Amino acid sequence: MSLPITGNASLVLAVVFGFIFGLLLQRGRVANYNTIVNQFRLKDFTVLKVMFTAIVVGGIGVLVLHRLGYAAYHIKPANMLGVVLGAGIFGVGMVTYGYCPGTGIAAVATGSVHALVGFAGMLVGGILYALSFSWVNEHILGVAALGKVRLPDVTRIADWIWFIILAAVAAIVFYAIERLMPKT
């Protein structure tokens, strides 16, 4: 069997991987409005714990796989104006919706009606983006477009040093959270 798996077999795997992802989101309590909004109110750090842990664990593994030739990188272009504006809008949307797109879908499955209504909003948002894409592409995406760059490219700090830094920051932040925050 050779990797990567493509074609119909990959569609079966897609369902399996998605299933695990949805299960983890639900059990991690991040498919939950209160958990997400309370993260941004700094009252509950579950979202940060899940995401930062996933980034460090996932990143170290994908780096090793990449170096061994088992994984390719999929870097999105750093169109800095587009990323900053888009992420800025996204942050407002995530707190008002109370979910991000992935956790929103998971929340719909657990019975959240407002997640379903927001899901309809996401489809509208997708249509609005497609309709305005020509303008955005012309006026925003090309501004400060750095290409598909990674932090090691722009900082000249090696990958493994980045992960030592990230792991250390994660350890300190998690320690502080566990010491300072009341147990939920």
Partner 1 sequence: MSQITNMPNGGGGFLTRSRWNPYLVGIGIGLLSWAVFAIVNAPLGVTTSLSQWAGLAAEPVMGVEGVRANPYWTKDFPQWDYGTFFLIGTFFGALVGAWLSRDLKIEVVPSVWRERFGGSPTKRLAVAFAGGILAMYGARMAGGCTSGNGLSGSLQLAVSGWTFFITMFVTGLATAWLMFGRKRSSVPSSSTESGKERI
Q: Which of residues 102-161 bind partner 1 (CB under 8 A)?
A: 102-115, 117-131, 133-134, 136-137, 140-141, 146, 148-154, 159
**175 lies in the site for partner 1, by CB under 8 A:** no
**53 lies in the site for partner 1, by CB under 8 A:** yes
Cβ atoms within 10 Å of 98's Cβ, excluding its own: 21
Spatial separation of the C-alpha atoms in residues 106 and 77, rounded to whole Å: 28
Farthest CA pair distance, the chain: 50
**167 lies in the site for partner 1, by CB under 8 A:** no
**165 lies in the site for partner 1, by CB under 8 A:** no
**27 lies in the site for partner 1, by CB under 8 A:** yes
Name, in order, each residue with C-beta under 8 angstroms of 40's C-beta and a sequence gap of 6 or more.
94, 95
**180 lies in the site for partner 1, by CB under 8 A:** no
**51 lies in the site for partner 1, by CB under 8 A:** yes
Q: Are 117 and 96 in contact (CB under 8 A)?
A: no
Q: Kindly state the smallest distance separating residue 155's Cβ from partner 1, in Å.
A: 9
Q: Kindly state the smallest distance separating residue 168's Cβ from partner 1, in Å.
A: 15
* Unique residue bearing structure tokens 């170096």: 67
